[in-house]
Structure 1
Amino acid sequence: MKNNDIFYIQKIIEYCDIVDSLLDEYERDYAVFQSSKSFQLSTSMCIVQIGEYVSRLSDEFKQENDNIPWRQIKGMRNFAAHQYEHFEFEVLWHTITDELPELKQSLLPLL
């Protein structure tokens, strides 16, 4: 693993932690999420940042860890960045409550 990969993994984990803190701040309440633009925008920006860091990981690292859905993570980033007005917030909610914790758990042992 390259040193840059370690840095990018740490940044991805950091953004997963930010989302987790936001969820705690808003009491993990989907109704609040639906009604709070700041909650939606904050978590969407974290998704964008995570996708950016995924795109900077070396191909070698991603190939060695092909159990992680790198392409889907990047696709979610692209959708959040370029199609935000069409974003289905149920999908974003699932991503931040289910998929990001799984991503973090997959990345922690790799550090």
Structure 2
Amino acid sequence: MNNGDRQRLLHIHRYCQDIARFVERFGKDYTTFVEDRAYLSAVSMCVLQIGELANGLSDEFREETKDQMPWGMIRGMRNWIAHAYAEMDEAIIWETAINDIPRLLHFCDSLLETGEDNQ
């Protein structure tokens, strides 16, 4: 992986950790998530930032890791949050935070810990 991809993964990792901390702080409860606008907004902004960073990953990196991570869906989630905020489905954001973000965090951990370098 090139240095630019590594830097973006470090930032993605940080946003995943932020989401994990929000879930720990506010609770793993969907009702709380929907009713507490700060919780919803904080998670949504992190998901948006993750998508923005994923968009900046090199085509080569996304191609090499596409079987491990659905980059197109991650980027699409960013666009959905950015352009249809008033119509966001809180359940989808919640499912992303609870089910998909831990997987992305693990993916980043594994690449960043090993210092994997594909070049």
How many angstroms apart in 2 are the aligned matches of 1:24 and 1:45?
17
Structure 1: any 5+ residue segments left out of the alignment?
none
Find runs of 4+ consecutive structure 1 residues off by over 4 angstroms.
Answer: none
Q: TM-score, normalised by structure 2?
A: 0.90
Q: Match of 1:104, SS?
A: helix
Q: Match of 1:78, SS?
A: helix
Q: Match of 2:7, SS?
A: helix
Q: Match of 2:28, SS?
A: coil
Structure 2: any 5+ residue segments left out of the alignment?
113-119
How many angstroms apart in 2 are the aligned matches of 1:107 and 1:16?
9
> Corresponding residue for 1:51?
51
Amino acid at match of 2:24: D
Q: Match of 2:6, SS?
A: helix
How many angstroms apart in 1 are the aligned matches of 2:27 and 2:34?
13
Report the count of equivalent residues: 111
How many angstroms apart in 2 are the aligned matches of 1:41 and 1:27?
15
Which structure has more relative contact order (CA 8 Å, sep 6+)? It is: 2
